[in-house]
């Protein structure tokens, strides 16, 4: 697996990923540049497009329960601190509490996550970046965080 971080003299940052040329890269943030993942089949493309960024069943169930309990919150709120951008699923702004509702795939659940067999040069650093992302930005803005994998477990 090769992960490169070009210097500004080398064109720094990610190249445009909108074209169809080989050798494209994606900037995962924090200077982490990885190869752009090419779909391995039409089925992989269909699955990837069907995955929702927000509004998943566990997320909606949590938000509904919180609302029924009289709690008010912001959903999918963009938080930018020290160059790090995150979008927690539920944010209690007054209490400075952020909640992420992630599937086992995204947060690296040791019991349920199955790493993709294709495009591992992309997925392994991407999933590592996702799991370390929360630990990086939370101390910077004084937020507390909780996460749920949708299987009933949570971690403060």
- CATH number, domain containing residue 137: 3.40.960.10
Q: What domain range is 18 assigned to? A: 1-36
Question: How far is residue 64 from each of residues 68, 70, 113, 114, 139, measured CA to CA in Å?
Answer: 6, 10, 26, 29, 28
- What span, in angstroms and rounded, lies between the C-alpha atoms of 135 and 138? 6
Task: Kindly state whether residue 146 falls inside one of the protein's structural domains.
Answer: yes
**Considering its fold, how many domains does the chain have in total?**
2
Q: What pLDDT, in 10s, does the model give residues 97-121? A: 888 887 777 777 778 788 888 888 8
Residues of the chain with pLDDT under 50: 1-21, 140, 153-156
Q: Are both 8 and 32 inside the same structural domain?
A: yes
Q: What is the pTM of this model?
A: 0.62
In a domain, residue 4? The reply is: yes
């Amino acid at each position: 697996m090769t992960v490169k971080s070009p210097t500004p003299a080398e064109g720094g940052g990610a190249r445009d990923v909108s074209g169809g040329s080989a050798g494209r890269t994606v900037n995962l943030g924090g200077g982490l540049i990885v190869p752009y993942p090419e779909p391995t089949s039409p089925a992989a493309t269909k699955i990837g497009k069907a995955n929702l960024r927000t509004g998943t069943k566990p997320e909606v169930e949590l938000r509904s329960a919180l609302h029924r309990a009289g709690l008010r919150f912001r959903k999918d709120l963009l938080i930018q601190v020290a160059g790090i951008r995150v979008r927690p699923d539920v944010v209690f702004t007054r209490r400075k509490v952020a909640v992420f509702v992630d599937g086992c795939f995204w947060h690296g659940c040791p019991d349920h996550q199955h790493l993709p067999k294709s495009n591992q040069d992309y997925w392994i650093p991407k999933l590592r970046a996702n799991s370390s992302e929360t630990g990086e930005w939370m101390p910077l803005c004084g937020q507390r965080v909780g996460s749920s994998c949708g299987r009933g477990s949570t971690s403060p």
